[in-house]
Structure 1
Amino acid sequence: MSVSSSRRIRAAIAAAAVITTGVGVGTATADASPVSAPTRYQEPGGLLVSLDFQALSTAGWAKTEVTATADSDESPEATESTEATEPTESTEATEEAPAVVEPAPAPPTVTPDELARIVPGVAPEKINEFIAPLNDAMLQNGIDTPVRQAAFIAQLAVESDSFRTFEEYASGRAYEGRADLGNTQPGDGERYKGRGAIQITGRHNYEKLSQHTGVDFVANPELLATKENAFTTAAWYWTSRNLNQVADTAGIVRVSELVNGGHHALQRRVADFERGLSVLLQP
């Protein structure tokens, strides 16, 4: 009697199961349309080869192959019938242990010490106050690599003056009548000036942010400046512009342009990014 093909089939299926698919403070005024990032899948490699479909089709998917010996008195039909009710000792009975899939590692977080080194100007008493909401905002929005985190923190550091303020120092009158920001009603410039850790600006952005979060920032724009909202709203702005992809591909200068709408404090943004990358890449 030949060996069953079921073990080879189970091993091939187990192998397939573990394959996965891989004025002083700037303002965030850019209103670029999001760029769709292509989904990238892991190539299956030798999976189809390992399945050996030709051999499997020859052996059969479920039935154990039976070969009658020369000195057997039983016909093949009788042998198959007997095997259906009385398995012989040579029938394979041992089951393969299922493949163990290791859990994915937790995304990295920024420590208080790392934040202090990335943004030297941040007040020491503010670090413990801001580190948790900063990490939560990053982890919930895929800002989970050293490049993305360094780029994100660099923009926030400039926009918030090293986390000293979550509201633009200027009055906002300069934005009055800016149709590109959605400021079409009298008083919109001051009402919707830069707020949050990334200084979100303009009625248009406040409206979109309200729709996304369910918090009415249009009627209550001052809520955007609270520490409870400052980082989550900054992460919304970041992901709404696909800035993870931009940081991965185009680089820190293009990220800065999409956050600020220009090159305000560009030299510092680049320097903060490079310092952040150096800190976060240390073992």
Structure 2
Amino acid sequence: MTINMIDIVNRVAPHAQGAYLEAFRQGGPLLAQHGITTPLRVAHFLAQALHETGGLTILRENMKYSAPRLTQIFGVGRHSAAVTAAEAAEIAGHPEKIAERVYGLGNPRKSRELGNTQPGDGFRYRGDGLLQTTGRGAHRRMGDACGLDFEGAPELVTAPEHALKPSLQEWTDNNLNAFADRNDIRTITRKINGGFNGLSDREDCFNRVWAIVKTGGQPAEPWEAGDADDRVKWLQEALNDLGANPRLVVDGRYGPATRRAVKDFQTIAGLVTDGIAGPVTEASIRLRLDTLR
């Protein structure tokens, strides 16, 4: 099917940066090359990009965080940087200092993970482009894959002629079309973000795009349109074994009933009640099943 991507972008991101608009205007062949050609795939790709860029308004992460926001995102128990309230008060409003503290050499664990090896790398290789490519290592990998020097010139990531390339490469490297086909926004988010940060906003973005791209022959609800997922079947069977009430239909689709059952289990298990069957929830389910058996 033919999907008019620039028309969709104009409708869901009325304040989009010109560089992004031009990238999507030129990007039909590149999107097709990476298989972003079905309603579910388009909706999931755009949902992630919309969230990561604030509705396609952010080219680079500006790092100009206030002290409360710093502790909320990068504070003790929330991030490997473990920024204290005293530190936050000292570096708040100083983007270069913040970036070096949370992404650069001021956070050895994260700097190793991101490949930030030199002073200033935290800021130079901060979140960049449609999926907020972060770190010297990621810029190098995406650049090598795309045949461009993103490491030497990170500003190329947001140039109109290149802006889609690193995000689509990341999408393909993580095999995210397969998860989009199963309407698995949880796994897509975890692959891109490393966790489930902003999942509710990503879901809202997805729903806005889905309302535009779904065809007349498809279900109104995206979870009904996705392929069955064996992992979700296991989850549904496990929740039934643990007493889900009402019992779930084991169809491999993560719909409202499955989400409610996950929330019910999380409440009983003393977990965060968010309806997301992430690694902690799945581990707790397995432990309960082993206990029963």
3-state SS of paired residue (1:163): coil
Match of 2:56 in 1: 163
Tell me how far apart the structure 1 counterparts of residues 134 and 146 of structure 2 sit (CA, whole Å).
16
By how many angstroms is 1:250 displaced? 6.2
Match of 1:115 in 2: 9
Segments of 4+ in structure 1 off by > 4 A? 123-128
State which structure, 1 or 2, has the greater radius of gyration over its C-alpha atoms: 1
CA contact (8 A) 1:168 1:194 kept: yes
Tell me how far apart the structure 2 counterparts of residues 229 and 188 of structure 1 sit (CA, whole Å).
22
Mean Cα deviation higher: 140-149 or 130-139? 130-139
Please tell me whether residue 200 in structure 1 is matched to residue 133 in structure 2: yes
CA RMSD of aligned residues (A): 2.3
Residue in structure 1 matching 2:26, options 123, 133, 138:
133
Q: Which consecutive unaligned segments of at least 5 residues does structure 1 have?
A: 1-106
AA aligned opposite 1:201: T
- The C-alpha deviation readout for 1:161-212, integer Å capped at 9, x for no partner, is 1111221121433211321111122222112111111110111111111211
AA aligned opposite 1:110: N
- The C-alpha deviation readout for 1:21-70, integer Å capped at 9, x for no partner, is xxxxxxxxxxxxxxxxxxxxxxxxxxxxxxxxxxxxxxxxxxxxxxxxxx
When normalised by structure 1's length, the TM-score is: 0.57
Match of 2:37 in 1: 144
Tell me how far apart the structure 2 counterparts of residues 219 and 247 of structure 1 sit (CA, whole Å).
33
Tell me how far apart the structure 1 counterparts of residues 157 and 52 of structure 2 sit (CA, whole Å).
14
Residue in structure 2 matching 1:176, options 84, 104, 121:
104
Tell me how far apart the structure 2 counterparts of residues 243 and 162 of structure 1 sit (CA, whole Å).
21
**Compared with structure 1, are the counterparts of its residues 199 and 133 closer, same or farther at alpha carbon in structure 2 (3 Å cutoff)?**
farther
When normalised by structure 2's length, the TM-score is: 0.55
Please tell me whether residue 275 in structure 1 is matched to residue 191 in structure 2: no
- The C-alpha deviation readout for 1:207-263, integer Å capped at 9, x for no partner, is 111211221111111111212211121111111111111222360121111111222
Aligned residues: 176
3-state SS of paired residue (2:163): helix
Whichever structure has more helix as a proportion of its residues is 2
**Compared with structure 1, are the counterparts of its residues 201 and 251 closer, same or farther at alpha carbon in structure 2 (3 Å cutoff)?**
same
CA contact (8 A) 1:207 1:218 kept: yes
AA aligned opposite 1:186: P
**Compared with structure 1, are the counterparts of its residues 124 and 204 closer, same or farther at alpha carbon in structure 2 (3 Å cutoff)?**
closer
AA aligned opposite 2:26: P
Q: Which consecutive unaligned segments of at least 5 residues does structure 2 have?
A: 64-94, 106-110, 217-293
**Compared with structure 1, are the counterparts of its residues 267 and 184 closer, same or farther at alpha carbon in structure 2 (3 Å cutoff)?**
same
Match of 1:244 in 2: 177
Q: How does 1:1-283 map to 2 (within 5 A)?
A: 107-117=1-11, 119-123=12-16, 129-170=22-63, 171=95, 172-173=99-100, 174-177=102-105, 178-249=111-182, 251-283=184-216
Tell me how far apart the structure 2 counterparts of residues 148 and 121 of structure 1 sit (CA, whole Å).
21
CA contact (8 A) 2:125 2:135 kept: yes
Tell me how far apart the structure 2 counterparts of residues 256 and 190 of structure 1 sit (CA, whole Å).
24
Match of 1:19 in 2: none
Bigger RCO (CA 8 Å, 6+ sep): 1
3-state SS of paired residue (1:229): coil
**Compared with structure 1, are the counterparts of its residues 270 and 232 closer, same or farther at alpha carbon in structure 2 (3 Å cutoff)?**
same
AA aligned opposite 1:241: N
CA contact (8 A) 1:238 1:244 kept: yes
By how many angstroms is 1:112 displaced? 3.6
Tell me how far apart the structure 2 counterparts of residues 111 and 230 of structure 1 sit (CA, whole Å).
15
By how many angstroms is 1:267 displaced? 0.8
Tell me how far apart the structure 1 counterparts of residues 167 and 20 of structure 2 sit (CA, whole Å).
17
